[in-house]
Chains A and B, each alone.
Chain A
Amino acid sequence: MPNQSGRLYGLTILSPIIDDDGAIPSHDLQIRKYLAALPTDERSPFARASGTHLARLVVMDDVIYVGAPSCEEHLKSKYLVFESNCDVDLDGYLAGLAKTIPKELDAIWCHCVGYPLAANVDAFVAYMKACQLETSFFFAAVNDKTVPQALRALMTHNAVAEFIASHQGVAPAELQGEFLALMAKLAAEPTPPAGSMGPHRLMKTGGHNE
């Protein structure tokens, strides 16, 4: 089934946004405003939602008219597109979201038609699944690891590369001791926070479009 690539599940959800002339600013603009201020680093709510490799939200305010001789048409509703790659089964993942980050989910999805609030986990899961679209084709470069596995591997990689660089020419006995010490240290190390720019680095933006 194309929703699945290895252990990665590709989730695509289109939630219709409430169309209410009385809402000022309109609900789609309110979503955009909220999302613009929501942290995207380790403080992101999705960093707490276990199994989330990536999550993205896009307000699809209309379909695009590509020019004559195409037909010009427009959507009746605006949609909130939610894309996620996760390594948990769908029901478990959605229930996990509802339990871990209900406040943020409600703040985003309260602008969508028929949203039941995350406190009602079953209703939340049912709602999300009602808005879900089946993937037609899915490719993922790395699809056999969990988020903690990835984060630990990246931490290990960083420490081991440093170790190799700083232990050139060290005699075997000392090398063995230091290596075992490194392994013990890594094992005791907590898994790094998801969403962070990695060890030994200050948070900076990765750059923006000009």
Chain B
Amino acid sequence: MSKLNASDIQGFVLRGYNLPLARYYFLHLAGAKQARELLERLHPLITTGQRWDSGKPDSTVNLAFTHQGLAAFELPQATLISFPVEFQQGMRGRAAILGDTKRNAPEHWDAFWHQETVHAWLGVNAQTSESLETCCDGVQTILTETGTHVLGSQDAAAAVVDGKPTTKEHFGYTDGFGNPDFLGVERSTQPGQGKRMPDGTWAPLATGELLLGYADEAGELPLAPVPHLLAANGTFMVYRKLHQNVATFREQLEKYAAQYGGGKEKLAAKFIGRWRDGTPLELSTDCPDPTIAQDPMQSTNFTYGDDPEGTQCPLGAHLRRVHPRDAFGFDGKLVHRRRITRRGLPYGRFASEDEAVSDLEDRGVIFMALNASLMRQFEFVQQQWIEYGNDAKQGNDKDMLMGNHDGCGRFVIQGDKTATNPPFVCSHLPNFVELRGGDYFFLPSLTALGMLARGLVDPR
């Protein structure tokens, strides 16, 4: 395949910035004229995917639109209806399909989701709080001068442990492993990240699983809006604010650990499929192993083929659900078109294990996912693999930590006859995570942003 034009693709798509601070703005556009003016002024600030040969920038800016946001530009109707139906509906409209019901239902989301329609997401990432504020001041000025209404904003930051930013999330697990590799995306690839080939090696996934305008794993162009130029080098983004009930998590973990023969840390590892330091259970069954967790050649390089009964990594563990690798057979072909790329950071102050916590404290993770097809990738994973268990042969059982259990449900930990690895069942599960808002966004290329800014999307 040809080389990707990194200067045309928003940097947020091609790489996780690894910048410790972020602020996400949610915007309501005043009208087509103001929207175009806003975009004209923001355009030079947008961070592209070009290489940072002279070091990381102090801050980055990226931009994405909801379907109604695109409509605010008064795009031709033929273009607006050419977007996939799930994007047109937005995440709120898909709540029943996603299992965003009961306490995860839209009526429980943060207040600004209930006010005026969210048209755009503007993401700023930064190195330091000074650089964050400097960048945001610049952005704010443009927003004010173009009459753009900021409905809400969300700060997020890498969890600070012992004074240093880390890749931990609030339950204490090391996060941010496991994004897939894609053809043409410059990134140091590591075994276990792309798709497993019949000969046991790993290869990058087709570009079209991440970006519109390229062949996907079925050899097709992903479903995309017309005109082609508006779609190419763009992608769809899911934004979900996931509140974490850290107190509930700790209580439940203690409660079950008291009955579980493998001890608390192993139990925590069984929920996810990794020890809290990141060591995969499939590679180290009895204890975390930093030499594995910190070695990119090992940390994601495993399969489930030798563990069909789930005695090492449970069949319903988070990792095994959302990236089943070889678990479904057929050389992984039932998996390759369901992969998503994760972005995002935790929000709220990190509380160490010895510190008292309450579920009411504002603490969680901003989950963002990029994919060429929201329906085929994110929605499928969320509905069939997180909120349901049939593909994992676990019936209606949901993902232990992510599932919308509402006091019901089960998580089965398969085991063996050894005292430290017994079979174990957790039941009557609370919600460890709660949805507090979100939507579906289209992250256009730089070319497409220019077309929007100049009103150059021709009717088809």
A residues with CB within 8 A of B: 161, 164-166, 168-169
Contacts and interface: CB of A to CB of B under 8 A. Distances in A.
Nearest to A162: B427
A168 B259 contact: yes
B41 interface: no
A41 B421 CA distance: 42
B259 A165 contact: no
B410 A161 contact: yes
A161 B424 CA distance: 11
A169 B259 contact: yes
Given A164-B425, A166-B427, A169-B259, 8 more contacts: A161-B410, A161-B425, A165-B410, A165-B425, A165-B427, A168-B259, A168-B424, A168-B425
Chain A interface main SS type: helix
11 contacts: A161-B410, A161-B425, A164-B425, A165-B410, A165-B425, A165-B427, A166-B427, A168-B259, A168-B424, A168-B425, A169-B259
Nearest to A168: B259
B416 to A, nearest CB: 16
A166 B410 CA distance: 11
Nearest to A158: B395
Interface string B100-120: 000000000000000000000
Nearest to B96: A207
Nearest to A157: B395
Number of contact residues on B: which range applies?
under 10
Contacts of B259: 168-169
A165 B410 CA distance: 8
Of all A-B residue pairs in the complex, the 7 with the closest CB atoms, nearest first, are A165-B425, A165-B427, A169-B259, A168-B259, A164-B425, A165-B410, A168-B425
Contacts of B425: 161, 164-165, 168
A46 to B, nearest CB: 24
Contacts of A165: 410, 425, 427
A166 B425 CA distance: 9
A166 B259 CA distance: 12
Contacts of B427: 165-166
Contacts of B410: 161, 165
A169 B424 CA distance: 10
Interface in B246-268: 259
Contacts of A169: 259
Interface in B404-424: 410, 424
Nearest to A167: B425
Most chain B Cβ neighbours within 10 Å, of A164, A166, A168, A169? A168
Contacts of A168: 259, 424-425
B184 to A, nearest CB: 35
A169 B425 CA distance: 11
A164 B427 CA distance: 10
B382 to A, nearest CB: 15
B400 to A, nearest CB: 14
Nearest to A166: B427
B410 to A, nearest CB: 6
A165 B427 CA distance: 7
A161 B259 CA distance: 18
A161 B410 CA distance: 9
B261 to A, nearest CB: 9
Contacts of A166: 427
Contacts of B424: 168
Interface string B419-458: 0000011010000000000000000000000000000000
A146 B410 CA distance: 29
A207 B259 CA distance: 38
A202 to B, nearest CB: 13
A84 B331 CA distance: 34
A209 to B, nearest CB: 12
A39 to B, nearest CB: 23
Contacts of A161: 410, 425
A164 B303 CA distance: 29
B366 to A, nearest CB: 29
Nearest to A164: B425
Contacts of A164: 425
A167 B425 CA distance: 10
A166 B427 CA distance: 8
Nearest to B261: A169
Nearest to B85: A210
Nearest to B426: A165
